[in-house]
Amino acid sequence: MDYEKLLKEVRDKKISVKKALEILKNLPFIDRKTFKIDTHRNLRKGVGEIVFGENKPIEELKKIIQEYQRIKEDCIITRLEKGKAEVLKKEFKEGIYYENARIFALLSKKRKKKKGEILIITAGTSDIPVAEEAKVTCEILGNKVVTIYDVGVAGIHRLLNYYNRLRKARVIIVVAGMEGALASIVGGLTDKPVIAVPTSVGYGANFFGLAPLLTMLNTCAPGVCVVNINNGFGAGYLAHLINNL
């Protein structure tokens, strides 16, 4: 809900006070038996509530989308498997499914692109799905995104070839599995904030992402923050907030 637009419409007598009150009754949340939609979040944070789709039954997802459509809010669902997305696409034809990112989105309007550039870097190609989740999140929220994939520390000269791109970015997301050293390298090369995303990519001692998580948390490069294992969405959202300052 665009509350500023609503208030202007009341001021300009395009809608009645009674109608505006009816719309505002959605505050602070929609209360349903199995889910509650925080309709006040867009006003508080500038971004509406985003739905975590993993393990949610398809019928519940349909009901959630219908509620978002009723209040004319964007609906973004993360971690949605392809089969469920195909079912939703048949019913909500305006929806877009980003398969690599596993994100399903129904957007009421395009967001104006922000000036700053978000750069997303991966250590390897196996880290790309997590990076794509971050990328699509950033783009849906109205950010310009540039990606550099497969420039890990096993061949660090590949990353150095893009040094000017690191300097140009306003915020950088680094996605890496194995030992997760790439975030420290990038953090030592740039004066921009770096968001590190550990992935569960790697052999046994990677411990499903715990090894790169600990490496990133223990980085000696200042200016690096760390999100949870495989949390591309969290990294993209944080990058958006930084770029929106």
**72-90 tens-digit pLDDT:** 778 889 999 999 889 898 8
The pLDDT value recorded for residue 193 is 95
Q: Is the dihedral of CA 201, 205, 210, 215 positive or negative?
A: negative
Structural contact between residues 242 and 193, judged by C-beta atoms closer than 8 angstroms = yes
Name the region of 225 (left: φ>0; alpha: ψ -120 to 50; beta: rest).
beta
The pLDDT value recorded for residue 231 is 95
Across 221-240, average pLDDT: 94
pTM, full prediction = 0.81
Across 143-147, average pLDDT: 94
Does the pLDDT value for residue 121 go beyond 80?
A: yes
The two beta strands, 75-78 and 103-106, are antiparallel
Q: What is the pLDDT of residues 12-26, one digit of tens each?
A: 888 888 887 777 666
Distance between CA atoms of residues 182 and 188, nearest Å:
10
- What are the structure tokens assigned to 50, written together? 């985003």
Structural contact between residues 47 and 237, judged by C-beta atoms closer than 8 angstroms = yes
- Lowest mean pLDDT of 41-55, 122-136, 183-197, name the range: 41-55
Structural contact between residues 98 and 132, judged by C-beta atoms closer than 8 angstroms = yes
For the chain, where are the E strands, in sequence order?
A: 30-31, 36-37, 51-52, 75-78, 96-98, 103-106, 117-122, 144-148, 171-176, 194-198, 224-226
Does the pLDDT value for residue 41 go beyond 70?
A: no
The two beta strands, 171-176 and 224-226, are unpaired
Using CB atoms within 10 Å of the CB of residue 142, give its burial: 0 to 12 exposed, 13 to 18 middle, 19+ buried. Answer: middle
Across 215-224, average pLDDT: 93
Question: How confident is the prediction for the chain on average, in pLDDT?
Answer: 87
Across 216-223, average pLDDT: 93
Using DSSP's 3-state secondary structure scheme, residue 89 falls into helix
The pLDDT value recorded for residue 139 is 92
Enumerate domains of the chain plus CATH numbers. Answer: 12-106 (no CATH), 117-243 (3.40.50.1970)
Distance between CA atoms of residues 71 and 85, nearest Å:
22
Structural contact between residues 88 and 104, judged by C-beta atoms closer than 8 angstroms = yes
Q: What is the pLDDT of residues 171-196, one digit of tens each?
A: 999 999 999 999 999 999 999 999 99
- Lowest mean pLDDT of 44-48, 192-196, 212-216, name the range: 44-48
